[in-house]
Amino acid sequence: MSSVLPVAPAPGREAPAGRARAVQRGRVLTWATIVYNSLEAVVALVAGGLAGSIALIGFGLDSVIEVSASGAALWRLRHDADPHARERAERLALRIVGWSFLALAAYVTVDAVRSLVVHEAPDASPVGIVLASFSVVVMPLLARAKRTVAAQLSSCALTAEARQTDICMYLSALLLVGLAANQWLGWWWADPVAGLAMVPLIVYEGREALAGRTVCADCAPAISG
């Protein structure tokens, strides 16, 4: 009498329910990003306008751009169940994220150079310092969770959007240094210099997204759908 042993699923391949759970978690994280970045954008743009801070305004615009990128990520997740629609959504979402990076880089460069040329010193912005400090803590947590979902779904578009959240953390750190140096050391030039320091990283990520090259090579095998 022979016995039939259960066949284990291939490594990295889970039931459709597993993929559905990953998609649902991705939606929750993406909505959390949209809500946080919407509030962040309002605070940063208002505080930056009042203080005349190029870095703070650029940070607010980055938050606006990340909201649009997160919207593209939501659209990508909504099409996950259909493999053909999923592939089209991947390509479009990557392009949206890529162009959003380049648009931000252009704005920050022009405004920071103008500020340096005319010696436009920003006022102190305690609100901006608090906002940047908070974002340095929140953004890495969101980015790490979103990278996990992107790896489970083997999605380059979701990986790129998670990278944008990573960059928001880097920008928060640069912003914090620039605002603190201006407020406590009187280094008026620290604000636009901090803005310019953001540009190479933003451009790099934008070009990588447009070329379809992200850290997707590090993703785990996709959950079967």
pLDDT surpassing 50 at residue 217: no
Residue 216: pLDDT above 80? no
Q: What is the mean pLDDT of residues 151-165?
A: 82
Whether the predicted pLDDT of 147 surpasses 80: yes
pLDDT of residue 122: 63
Which DSSP state fits 211?
Answer: T
> What average pLDDT does the structure give for the chain?
78
User: Given this model, what pLDDT does residue 17 score?
Assistant: 73
Banded model confidence at residue 121, pLDDT cuts 50, 70, 90: low
Domain boundaries, the chain: 16-213
Angle CA 155–159–161, to nearest 5:
120
137 CB-contact burial (10 Å; exposed 0-12 / middle 13-18 / buried 19+): exposed
Of 13-17, 35-39, 120-124, 125-129, highest mean pLDDT: 35-39
pLDDT the model gives residue 35: 94
In this prediction, residue 214 carries a pLDDT of 54
Q: What is the pLDDT of residue 145?
A: 92
Q: What would the pLDDT profile of 20-32 be if each residue is shown by its tens digit?
A: 888 889 899 999 9
Fold adopted by 16-213 = Alpha-lytic protease prodomain-like (1.20.1510)
Per-residue confidence (pLDDT) for residue 53, from 0 to 100: 75
Query: Residue 125: which pLDDT band, with cuts at 50, 70 and 90?
Result: confident
- Reported for 148-153, long-range contacts at CB under 8 A and 24+ positions apart, including other chains, are 149/22, 149/23, 149/25, 149/26, 149/29, 150/26, 150/216, 150/219, 151/218, 151/219, 151/220, 152/18, 152/19, 152/22, 152/220, 152/222, 152/223, 153/19, 153/22, 153/23, 153/26, 153/80, 153/222, 153/223
This prediction has a pTM of: 0.71
* pLDDT(56) > 90: no
| Dihedral sign, Cα of residue 47, residue 53, residue 56, residue 58 | positive
Per-residue pLDDT at 43: 92
